[in-house]
Amino acid sequence: MDFTEGEICDLVKRLGLDHPDPERLAILGCDNSCEVQSGPGSGKTTLLTAKLALLSECWRDAHRGVCVLSHTNVARREIEDRLASSASLRRLLDHPHFIGTFQAFVDQFIALPFLRQRDLPITAVDNERFARRAWAAYITAGVYPSAKGWLKHRGDETRIRQIIGGLRYADGELRVDSANYPAGLPAPKSATYGDLRNLKHRLAKQGYFRFDDMYAMAERTLSKLPYLATAIRDRFAWVFVDELQDTSAVQCRLIEQLFPASHCVVQCFGDKNQTIFNLDEDAVVAPKLFGKRPVLPLSSTRRFGPAIAGLASRFTAAAKQTLVGHPTGPSRRNTIFLFSRAAINQVVPRFANLVLAEVPPETWRKREVCVVASRKKVRVLKRDHFPLSLGDYWGGFDPDTAVSRRILIPSSDLCKKLGNVRPSLGPALKRRTPS
């Protein structure tokens, strides 16, 4: 790929985007592996789409393609929707290209073909369906006596269900552990471990798997069939990783194994300053993908103005970066809510009042005003885990049935119901169903 500045600017204009600043020009024109340090609100998905549009202009290889790896289906759909806007861009949605989540990539290219080759059924790859099936198999009378003896000392039935439901293959050796029991299962040679391993194998033979089982299967496949890695890297000449800071340890290993710098152009977009460490059993203790490639900054943001950008820049501790606020962006108050357990039901109403005070009505009447938090129950409940999810802020939110981690504050309710602080928002909130 070799585009002049004029060609890049012309394409950006055709896409309806603003004229690129020097940082964006450098990223769009880069044809080597790199790491884009993207500040908050920097428009990296828009920039990634523009990069893909440039590639589509010159792509002629019918056998090698572009691979875009994201962490969520929301991000995947956003990229696909933008590419679907023109015939030339839509080419990247077809073979030999791939745009999807890490999970879909691992399933499609490595894990599921491996299972089919071994004549194993694939009934469901889903954590909750696995957990239900595992519990039904576990409570069968007369089986797994050692495991039952060990588990009865681990807690009540709810806790035992969590441990059983979390049974997974942990690595390429198909070692069994539980995602919901960080302390670890008994020693591999123990009768208890044997029972739990047999339960896991039994479910695998029936075709029931957890999502993370697919990563273990992928690592095993690549260790047994090394030529597969060669075939995959020959398939994809360019690889893009979205939200680099959210990659797990096993995802890091797979990227490095499948796409070495000598064979592929790998460009990673993410924000090292938004990395969350040690809050998940598979978190990357040190962000192993960061710092492996030349870094290109993306510092300007449309999310906030110069005042907040100046404040936020002081907190870029992991990767020092001077954020550049949008020059015409409105100046908002910097707000942090401090609250006690007893006052937690006032957080969302207070936020709604802040929106009323700070955001012009013509804006919030047209845009969604949402409260965003975790929607799922924590896997291993600890005494100090509070707040856990949206349900702690709003009693009407059910994490077992919710399909989104956002609750929407309709504009009509902002107008009519939230002029003053209310102790409960209940009826003024509704769950948002993603499109």
Q: Which two tokens stand for residue 366?
A: 């047209």
Angle at Cα 15 formed by Cα 13 and Cα 17, nearest 5°? 60
**Which residues have CB under 8 Å from 118's CB, separation 6+?**
none
pLDDT at 347 (0 to 100):
87
**Which residues have CB under 8 Å from 72's CB, separation 6+?**
101
Spatial distance between the Cα atoms of 84 and 266, rounded to a whole number of angstroms = 23
How many CB atoms within 10 Å of residue 144? 22
Mean pLDDT throughout 285-303? 79
Q: Indicate whether 273 pLDDT > 80.
A: yes
Q: Indicate whether 382 pLDDT > 60.
A: no
pLDDT at 207 (0 to 100):
96
> If you average pLDDT over every residue of the chain, what do you get?
83
Residue of 130 and 318 predicted with greater confidence: 130
How many CB atoms within 10 Å of residue 226? 10
Task: Report how far apart the first and last C-alpha atoms of the chain are (Å, whole number).
Answer: 35
Question: pTM for the full model?
Answer: 0.81
Per DSSP, the residues of 343-362 read GGGGHHHHHHHHHHHHS-HH
pLDDT at 57 (0 to 100):
84
Mean pLDDT throughout 426-435? 33
Q: Indicate whether 151 pLDDT > 60.
A: yes
Residue of 405 and 63 predicted with greater confidence: 63
Which ranges of 59-144 would DSSP assign to H, the alpha helix? Answer: 73-83, 87-90, 102-106, 112-117, 127-138
The pair phi, psi for residue 68, each rounded to 5°, is: -120, 120
Spatial distance between the Cα atoms of 316 and 96, rounded to a whole number of angstroms = 39
Indicate the pLDDT class of residue 195, thresholds 50, 70 and 90: very high
Best CA proximity match to 195, nearest among 137, 112, 255:
137
pLDDT at 432 (0 to 100):
32
CA 244 to chain centre: 9
Mean pLDDT throughout 239-268? 90
Spatial distance between the Cα atoms of 3 and 250, rounded to a whole number of angstroms = 35
Indicate the pLDDT class of residue 430, thresholds 50, 70 and 90: very low
For the ranges 160-164, 200-204, 303-307, 386-390, the lowest mean pLDDT is seen at 386-390
pLDDT at 421 (0 to 100):
33
Mean pLDDT throughout 14-37? 90
Q: Which two tokens stand for residue 300?
A: 């300007």
Residue of 330 and 208 predicted with greater confidence: 208
- Given the DSSP bridges, would you call strands 430-431 and 406-409 parallel, antiparallel or unpaired? antiparallel
Per DSSP, the residues of 136-190 read HHHTSTTS-HHHHHHHTTS-SHHHHHHHHHTEEE-STT--EEETT-TT-PSPTTS
